[in-house]
């Protein structure tokens, strides 16, 4: 997709603080530090639009970005970084699960998975949750540049085998590998 405009619209840390439903939305979900914000910047070709960090837990709000005046890309806070998984789940739950469940304009969710780690319990639970609420999902294997060609191919084949019927795309925000393929999957939801 050719990006002619991309800007931050608003952020919310509380359920109900989302902007009024407008253009169709696509959300980026996944554990903290998996590369959601970096992927959003790289998809849009705008360095620094969404804040990235080495420190997990950088994004604590739901952030809305308007693309080409006709699509909202939504950067979600990551899960799995707090010391107490229980406390983390409680904080993440109402905000993100509420958004994923009720947002009327949400068309699909890209679930990011570190290509080196593959699917863990949380990713499985998130995908099952999305299925249960009827949201289309795709899996994006991030940081592909950290794997060699053979390992990368094996990682992607492994994910595809585990997830029949779910599109799987390999991605690197560093080399921008996967950008065209991922846009193709995302725009098919619009």
How many CB atoms within 10 Å of residue 125? 11
Euclidean distance between CA atoms 22 and 20, whole angstroms: 6
When the beta carbons of 84 and 134 are compared against ligand GTP, the nearer one is 84
Site string for ligand GTP, 69-108 (x = CB under 6 A): --------xx------------------------------
The helix (run of H) or strand (run of E) holding residue 111 is strand 106-114
Q: Which of residues 41-70 bind Mg ion (CB under 5 A)?
A: 58-59
Q: Which of residues 16-45 bind ligand GTP (CB under 6 A)?
A: 30, 32-38
When the beta carbons of 34 and 182 are compared against ligand GTP, the nearer one is 34
Q: Does 63 bind ligand GTP (CB under 6 A)?
A: no
Euclidean distance between CA atoms 77 and 17, whole angstroms: 14
Buried b (16+ CB within 10 A) or exposed e, 169-179: bbbbbeeebbb
Euclidean distance between CA atoms 28 and 97, whole angstroms: 13
When the beta carbons of 38 and 163 are compared against ligand GTP, the nearer one is 38
**Closest separation between CB of residue 35 and Mg ion, Å?**
8
Cβ neighbors of 125 (< 8 A, separation 6 or more) are none
When the beta carbons of 38 and 106 are compared against Mg ion, the nearer one is 38
When the beta carbons of 38 and 137 are compared against ligand GTP, the nearer one is 38
**Closest separation between CB of residue 164 and ligand GTP, Å?**
26
Which option in ligand GTP, Mg ion, none does residue 63 bind, with CB closer than 5 to 8 A by kind? none
Euclidean distance between CA atoms 128 and 28, whole angstroms: 16
Q: Does 33 bind Mg ion (CB under 5 A)?
A: no
Euclidean distance between CA atoms 15 and 22, whole angstroms: 17
Which option in ligand GTP, Mg ion, none does residue 146 bind, with CB closer than 5 to 8 A by kind? ligand GTP
């Amino acid at each position: 997709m050719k990006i002619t405009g991309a800007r931050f619209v608003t952020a919310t840390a509380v359920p109900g603080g989302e902007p009024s439903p407008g253009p169709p939305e696509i959300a980026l979900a996944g554990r903290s530090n998996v590369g959601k914000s970096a992927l959003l910047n790289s998809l849009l070709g705008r360095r620094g639009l969404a804040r990235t960090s080495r420190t997990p837990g950088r994004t604590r709000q739901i952030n809305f970005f308007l693309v080409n005046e006709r699509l909202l890309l939504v950067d979600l806070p990551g899960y799995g970084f707090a010391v107490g998984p229980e406390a983390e789940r409680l904080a993440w739950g109402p905000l993100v699960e509420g958004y994923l469940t009720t947002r009327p304009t949400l068309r699909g969710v890209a679930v990011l998975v570190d290509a080196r780690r593959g699917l863990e319990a949380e990713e499985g639970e998130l995908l099952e949750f999305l299925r249960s609420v009827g949201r289309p999902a795709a899996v994006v294997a991030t940081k592909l540049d950290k794997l060699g060609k053979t390992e990368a191919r094996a990682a992607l084949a492994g994910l595809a085998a585990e997830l029949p019927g779910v599109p799987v795309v390999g991605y690197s925000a560093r080399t921008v590998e996967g950008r065209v393929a991922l846009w193709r999957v995302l725009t098919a939801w619009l």
